[in-house]
Amino acid sequence: LWNNNTFWLQHILGTPLYNYYLRLCGARISLNTHIYTTTIDAPWLLEIDDGSWIANETYLNCLYFNDDNTFKLSPIRIGSNCSIGTRSILFDGVDMKNNIIVQPMSSVTGFVASETIIDGEQHKSLPSHVSIVQSNRSFFIWHKIYQIIVIISIICIHCALLILVYKVYSVGQIPLLINIAFCWTLWSIIGCFISLLLLKFIVGPCAAGEIYPIASRLYLQKIWLRQLIVSSFHHAWLLSTTYDYLYPYVLRWLGAHIEENVKIAEIDTFLSCPTNLLKFEMGVTTFGGVSIVPTDLTFSGDHRVDQIVLGSHTNLANGCSILPGSCLAPETMIGNLTRVSRETKSKFREVLMGVPARTMPFQMSVTPKNQDQIKIIPFWHSCLSHYVSKCLLLSIYSFGGLVGGSIIHITLVCGLNRCRSNKRHEIVQQIIERMSQDYAQFICPFLGNTQWLIRLFRAYGAHIGENTIMPDISSITDYPLMSIGDNVRLNAGTQIQGHSFEQRILKLAPVSIGNSCILMSGSIVMAGCELMGNNRLYPLTLIMKNDQLPLNTDWKGLPAQSYTVKARLSRPTIIHDDLVKYQQGYETINKLFLWYERIASIYTSVNELQFMNYGYADMDEYIDDHTGYYSKKFYEQVLANVTLKDQNVLEINCGRGAGAAWCVHTHASHSYIGIDPSQDVINLCQRLYSTTPRLSFVVANATKHLPFENESIDIILCIQATHAFGERIAITQFANEVVRVLRPNGCLLWCDVCYMNESGILVYDLIENDELIIEEKTNITKNVLHALEIQNKSRTDFIQRYIQ
């Protein structure tokens, strides 16, 4: 019911009328909030205080699928004067305090303290020299009157348009079905033309760098009115198809700088932003789901517009967001679910992925410019296919009635989808696609989250198991390539696709989703992927082409990395014989781990805290030069009797990556991989050392599973990591994984505190087994303590400056 009502709700977004409507649905919302999203699964669980602003396409997910085929509902509480950017996802219980800024495409769960900036997965405290002082966001009386007058005017324009079309319908003596289909097409053409006139002459252009407070007339005219016009005439623009011939010409007429050979999949998002600030150079391609964000937020909560420049032959993949001020170099590839902003620095032929966008160590293949499988659709083809498809649609329902027509429509669409052919004439193919779109628009909204939708996918050719839940028809594409197991759950906004356009070249590959997988909102599974089963993808996770996810693993991030859920410290869930003693040790380890992650996510300076080991010093050394000298000597000592040349090296719990980078620069290893259980730590390593050859970083927990093939590693380096593993069983599991991935005659270089938790148990007794034999032991305790003593002052100063 809610989803079928969203088109009408688009007309009152960002007004007090929408707030009243949500209140009627049970939400506890202040009348001075500004809400532009309709993606709400349980509105009665919302609580939003005064002055908060929530952008369009934000997901407010109170529904959470558990791993045992049950679900839970959790409230979402948003304090006063919060700003939540577009395509952000709030899920699994949210308690946000006041004056919080959530950057676009961020995921939020749990408690968020006041004056926090959430950027992707990172929570940043506000810099000391900056304060979030929100400008007045209250709805003034003139504000409300202006919005009501505009909404009534839009309704009058639609009425006048319908009257005009009716006059045309009344003139000729044409068969009824043909006449209605012609009037439908005419209404779409005139509707597109009227919307362009309104955008050109009523909304008008914007100046680069202008800032609009929410409670200002310019914000209402330049931002709110533009989005209202585009959403209100959305159905008229369904006349055009993807990559329509007219799209570049329309944008040029509205003031955009569009060069030749620019291909645009969907025009709505470009009409929703100030078009005169767009500059697309030759050969730009934008795929479906791209969002051109109209404004970015200042610390005071105001909205700023700015120019967006896309260099020649730039590609924007599905689901990416481009913010004002973005400037991309030629031949840049923007990956799925990536956020590009004015802070993004791009270079020629780079691949950018992530939130925020960062350079990936991928190489774009050189594709001849004349290889292009994206065909431009002439406008008359669009009009003809629209007209014929509407004739067929009206004929079906006039012949069979509502029930019989629906059955005929389903049968026809399923049959045409099952026998697709590339040899059909272009117009015939467009007519078939139009009929499928009509079915998706008029019938499928009633099938979402039901087993009828699953039966429809099976009729289309997909292989789907029992008790699977999918929210809508767009959840999967390329139906014959889909194989989905039992008890799979998809949240709204998730997509599984069996195709990719790589530099405008179409490629297809099958996708396999195992039993009991849960794909949360905003996740994308690309062609060729295989999820083995019982996998959870957290919001805004991208599973890249041909990835394979092992059984019973959770994944998160862009690109996806293995993710270990951390238990809440206040509620230990593991049962132990000596519960009190265990909880104390459990909380100590986890609190240290939380500090570790906090340091990684916030303290990103490369001048201090490069190394996190204790260090090694000769007994006659006494000078602390603050350069990590003693930490490097620690590595030298561990590596004293081995060579890394031409070896595949793995470092356990690599920390901030400085040791790994030093080893790669000092020793000519064939490859060097650093793993760490913290996503924030790995993000930092990838950002700092993305250009270092032969060095890579992966999220992994060594006490559970090392994501490497059997006998694939020559040397494993484990420096001061096992003391944080906690339990004996964790160290034993670590040793088993080491044995599995080490090659014959490979070696484990281990250095740490010998005794475990003051228990008298030697750690290397737990590590040693039949296949892992200790060949050499060296006691360096005195040297480590001496290094700690030398560095005591500098490290104490750091802790006092930062931690406290």
Judged by DSSP in three states, 598 sits in: helix
pLDDT recorded at residue 658:
87
Q: What integer pLDDT is reported at residue 132 of this predicted model?
A: 58
pLDDT value at residue 531: 93
- pLDDT for res 257: 96
pLDDT at 370: 54
What pLDDT is attached to residue 401? Answer: 85
Least confident of 46-50, 191-195, 654-658: 654-658
Instruction: Note the pLDDT tens digit of each residue in 234-261.
Output: 988 988 888 888 899 999 999 999 999 8
Report the SS3 class of residue 802: helix
Quote the DSSP letter at residue 522: T
Tokens of 533: 């089963």
CA distances from 682 to 199, 288, 678, 759 (A): 45, 30, 6, 32
Could you tell me the pLDDT band of residue 393, with boundaries at 50, 70 and 90?
confident
Would you state the pLDDT for residue 655? 85
pLDDT band at 788 (very low <50, low <70, confident <90, very high): confident
Single-letter code of the amino acid located at 800 = Q
Coil/strand/helix, residue 94: strand
Is pLDDT above 70 for 793? yes
Amino acid type, 750: W
Distance CA 497, CA 526 (A): 5
What's the pLDDT score for residue 758?
54
Query: Are 91 and 59 in contact, with CB atoms under 8 Å apart?
Result: yes
Residue % of the chain over a pLDDT of 90: 39
pLDDT reported for residue 590: 47
Question: What's the CA gap between 246 and 377, in Å, rounded?
Answer: 9
Q: From the CA atom positions of the chain, what is the Rg in Å?
A: 29
pLDDT at 521 over 90: yes
Nearest-CA neighbor of 202 among 267, 264, 157, 247?
A: 157
Sequence-ordered list of residues with C-beta below 8 angstroms from that of 536, at least 6 positions apart, any chain? 67, 517, 518, 520, 554, 555
Which of 128-137, 299-308, 670-679 is least confident? 128-137
- Residue with token string 């909030």: 33
Asked whether the predicted pLDDT for residue 41 surpasses 60, the reply is: yes
For range 11-28, the mean pLDDT: 94
- Which comes out higher in pLDDT, residue 536 or 378? 536
3-state SS assignment for residue 101: strand
Average pLDDT over every residue of 541-553: 89
- pLDDT band of residue 157 (cuts 50, 70, 90) is very high
Q: Which residues contact 406 (CB under 8 A, 6 or more apart)?
A: 400, 443
Q: What's the mean pLDDT when you consider all of the chain?
A: 84
Closest by Cα among 116, 114, 111 to 127: 116
Please report, to the nearest 10 degrees, the dihedral formed by the alpha carbons of residues 333, 339, 341, 345 taken in order.
-40
pLDDT, mean of residues 324-344: 93
Residue 272 has pLDDT above 70, yes or no: yes
Buried b (16+ CB within 10 A) or exposed e, 478-489: bbebbbbbebbb
C-alpha 343/C-alpha 606 separation (Å) is 19
- HSE on the CB side for 590, CA within 13 Å? 16
Higher-pLDDT residue of 450, 624:
450
Over range 9-25, report the average pLDDT: 93
**314-338 average pLDDT score:** 93
Model pLDDT, residue 373 = 59
**Euclidean distance between CA atoms 573 and 565, whole angstroms:** 12
Total Cβ atoms within 10 A of residue 579: 12
Higher pLDDT, 22 or 728: 22
Quickly count: other Cβ atoms within 10 Å of residue 91's Cβ: 24
Euclidean distance between the first and the last CA atom of the chain, given in angstroms as a whole number: 51
Judge whether 331 and 311 are in contact, CB under 8 Å: yes
Q: Is the pLDDT of residue 204 over 90?
A: yes
pLDDT confidence tier of residue 366, bands split at 50, 70 and 90: low
Q: Which of 31-45, 101-115, 597-611, 753-767 has the lowest mean pLDDT?
A: 597-611
State residue 695 phi and psi, 5-degree precision.
-120, 130
* Superfamily of chain region 3-125: Hexapeptide repeat proteins (2.160.10.10)
Q: What is the pLDDT of residue 206?
A: 94
> Which pLDDT does position 572 carry in this prediction?
30
CA distance linking residue 767 with residue 702, whole number of Å: 13
Residue 602 pLDDT greater than 60, yes or no: no
**What pLDDT score does 573 carry?**
29
**What pLDDT is stored for residue 610 in this prediction?**
61
Q: Which CATH class is domain 629-801?
A: alpha beta
Q: Does the structure show a pLDDT above 70 at 90?
A: yes
- Give me the amino acid identity at 731: I
Which residues are registered as beta bridge partners of 117?
101, 124
**Cα angle 426-428-429, degrees, rounded to a multiple of 5:** 65
Pick the range with the lowest mean pLDDT from 52-66, 360-374, 419-433, 677-691. 360-374
pLDDT of residue 588: 46
Q: What is the DSSP letter of 244?
A: B
What pLDDT is recorded for position 48? 95
pLDDT at 68 over 50: yes
**pLDDT value, residue 582:** 36
**Residue 177 has what pLDDT?**
80
Reported as a pLDDT band with limits 50, 70 and 90, residue 585 is very low
Strands (E), 711-762: 713-719, 742-751, 755-756, 761-762
- Residues 321-325: what's their mean pLDDT? 95
pLDDT at 567 exceeding the cut of 50: no
Question: Which helix H or strand E contains 264, and what residues bound it?
Answer: strand 263-264
Higher pLDDT, 469 or 298: 469
Residue 314's pLDDT is what? 93
Q: Where are the domains of the chain?
A: 3-125, 174-359, 629-801
Give, as one character, the DSSP assignment of residue 446.
G
* Residue 120 reports pLDDT greater than 80: yes
| 3-class SS of residue 210 | coil
CA nearest to 698, candidates 715, 679, 675: 675
Nearest to 702 by CA among 683, 726, 685: 726
Crossing angle (nearest 10°) for helices 141-171 and 225-232: 30
Residue 170 phi, psi (nearest 5): -80, -15
Domain 174-359 bears CATH identifier 2.20.28? no
Confirm whether 3-125 and 174-359 share one CATH topology. Answer: yes
Task: Say what the pLDDT of residue 367 is.
Answer: 56
HSE-CB for 629 with a 13 A CA cutoff: 13
Q: What is the mean pLDDT of residues 107-119?
A: 89
Cα dist. 28→23, 45, 75, 562 in Å?
6, 8, 11, 37
